[in-house]
Amino acid sequence: MGLGEAEVTGLIGSPGEVRDEPPALVWRYAGDKCAVDVLFYFDLTRQEFRALTYRVEPEGGSEQAQKICLGGIQEAQRGGAKR
């Protein structure tokens, strides 16, 4: 968290969907079995959006399940199979 849009793109890739949910800008990355929303908020000091939090669906999964979800999405973004 705390990354800018270019840094998140470099880490995960381009989002499949971008939504405006004031005051947040939400980037959605979807896999076959889960999805991750990265929520960006405008940083007045830096004058740019920064990722401050994220949501993993389905909710309630363990931290390990969330890491597996994100890893699967990263792999899919690089051209591998989705999880």
Q: Dump pLDDT digits (tens) for 44-75.
A: 999 999 999 999 998 767 888 888 898 888 88
Nearest to 13 by CA among 48, 38, 33, 47: 38
Q: What is the pLDDT of residues 6-48, one digit of tens each?
A: 999 999 999 999 999 999 999 999 988 899 999 999 999 999 9
Q: How far apart are CA 38 and CA 52, in angstroms?
A: 8
Nearest to 56 by CA among 25, 28, 23, 21: 28
SS3 at position 29: strand
pLDDT at residue 67 in the model:
86
CATH of 5-77, one of 3.90.1280, 2.30.180, 3.30.1450, 3.30.70: 3.30.1450
Which amino acid, residue 16?
G
The torsion angles phi and psi of 7, rounded to 5 degrees, stand at: -70, -40
